[in-house]
Amino acid sequence: MAPMGIRLSPLGMAVFCLLGLGVLYHLYSGFLAGRFAFFMLSEPAAGGAEPPPRGSAAAVDLRELLAVSVLAAVRGGEEVKRVREGNVLNEKAKGKTREGAEEKLTSGDLLSNRRMYHLLQAAFPGVQINSEEHVDTADQETVSWDRSIPEEIKQKIQPKEVPAESVTVWIDPLDATQEYTEDLRQYVTTMVCVAVNGKPVIGVIHKPFSAYTAWAMVDGGSNVKARSSYNEKTPRIIVSRSHAGKVEQVARQTFGNKTVIIPAGGAGYKVLALLDVAEKNQEEADVYIHVTYIKKWDICAGNALLRALGGHMTTLNGEEISYTGSDGNEGGLIASINMNHKALIEKLPDLEKTSHK
């Protein structure tokens, strides 16, 4: 017996339940439709993530970052040149390499680093910056950038925004410090590299003592070209001065007895040797080989330049080098342009074994 003396029949109960289900279906279907519409409106376009809104705080314009990277390399180079020409290097040891060689530090390294780091950090405060030298957090030097972009970059590079959290900047404030102390100025460079999700996309290599700057952006443009040809019968292999003996024997076994070994200082200089560089003190080479551990700020800019021009820089066993995580590359490297890079790697099985030493 129902309350108030009302008796419900089975048929009435069934109708009541159906009406209730109808009301719930109407309400819930409207909610689902709204959620589906919201999902469709916010879903990124097929083929990749939706870029952040232009001008947002979380976005970085790679064209602007290229412009300030060029400026940073030049400003750092001014410090490097000033210190060397004033002969006030204040040279000291900062440690030893894995091979036991003494690593040197000069005022040129520190002052260049200070200028480059603060300029990049002020222009793009939300971007991670990795530098070879320590940055004193108490040093609050203010370095401003007027956000002007050189006409050459404007003409060749279109604006392109990426999420700030995907960007890592690598600074080498003075490449070839050993040669710098020996006054072998042609080898010295300052370098900036921009990696997006670990891939090098912007490379800047500046030679302070000749005021020459090479820059490139992957899928963008560059102010330098690759050399158009090489001599297969007498290939020229450029290597570190300190490792020339280690590489020479294996290189001749691999490429032939007519192989020319070019000992040189600085990773930046060695990459420029693979390119068409109008520099009287710049040697030319076909392949760059490094057989031991090397830091990423030494090679990132050169890697980006080669990628932009269709070349390659990989570990000795052919793996791409990621510019995230640790600051060192354990697998050695081989770099080339306008050559069959895979075939080169297949010729170098013995060198890869020495790269972790």
Q: Are strands 167-175 and 161-163 parallel, antiparallel or unpaired?
A: unpaired
Coil vs helix vs strand at 308: helix
Distance CA 329, CA 349 (A): 18
In 51-60, which positions are buried (b, 16+ CB within 10 angstroms) versus exposed (e)?
eeeeeeeeeb
pLDDT digits (tens, 9 = 90+) for 83-110: 999 999 999 887 656 555 678 899 999 9
Residue pair 271/222 in contact by the 8 Å Cβ criterion: no
Contacts of 41 (CB under 8 A, 6+ apart): none
pLDDT score recorded for residue 144: 80
Interior angle at CA 19, CA 15 and CA 20, nearest 5: 120
Tell whether residue 172 is among the known ligand binding residues.
Answer: yes
Angstrom distance (rounded) from CA 254 to CA 258: 11
279 pLDDT band, cuts 50/70/90, is: confident
Active site residue 168: no
Determine if residue 132 is labeled as part of a ligand binding site: yes
Q: How far is CA 10 from the centre of its chain?
A: 75
Section 54-80 average pLDDT: 89
Distance CA 83, CA 180 (A): 10
Task: Give the Cα separation of 113 and 172 in Å (integer).
Answer: 8
Domain boundaries, the chain: 59-223, 226-347
CATH topology of domain 59-223: Fructose-1,6-Bisphosphatase; Chain A, domain 1 (3.30.540)
Give 3-state DSSP helix, strand, coil % of the chain, rounded to 5.
40, 25, 35
Whether the predicted pLDDT of 205 surpasses 50: yes
List all residues 6 or more positions away from 114 whose beta carbon is below 8 Å from its beta carbon.
Answer: 79, 135, 139, 141
pLDDT, residue 7, reads 55
Q: What percent of the chain has pLDDT over 90?
A: 60
Task: Identify the active-site residue in 168, 177, 213, 292.
Answer: 177
* pLDDT computed for residue 4 by the predictor: 46
Q: 16-20, 36-40, 92-96, 219-223: which has the highest mean pLDDT?
A: 219-223
Q: Residue 54: what are its φ and ψ, rounded to 5°?
A: -60, 130
Give kind and range of the element (H or E) at residue 163.
Answer: strand 161-163
Task: Tell which residue, 237, 252, 344, has the closest CA to residue 284.
Answer: 237
Hey, which CATH number is domain 226-347, 3.40.50.720, 3.40.50.970, 3.40.190.80, 3.40.1410.10? 3.40.190.80
Annotated catalytic, 137? no
Show the tokens assigned to 23.
Answer: 């009301």
- The predicted structure's pLDDT at residue 239: 94
pLDDT digits (tens, 9 = 90+) for 114-141: 999 999 999 999 999 999 888 776 666 6
Interval 17-28 mean pLDDT: 52
Report the pLDDT averaged over residues 160-184. Answer: 97
The 10s digit of each residue's pLDDT in 232-245 is 778 899 999 987 87
Return the SS3 of 123. helix
Choose between 267 and 281: higher pLDDT: 267
Q: State the catalytic residue, choosing from 61, 106, 109, 213.
A: 109
Residue 79 assigned to a binding site: no
Instruction: Give the tokens for residue 32.
Output: 């689902």
Q: Where do the DSSP E strands lie in 22-76?
A: 59-61
Least confident of 32-36, 181-185, 194-198, 249-253: 32-36
344 is in an annotated binding site: no
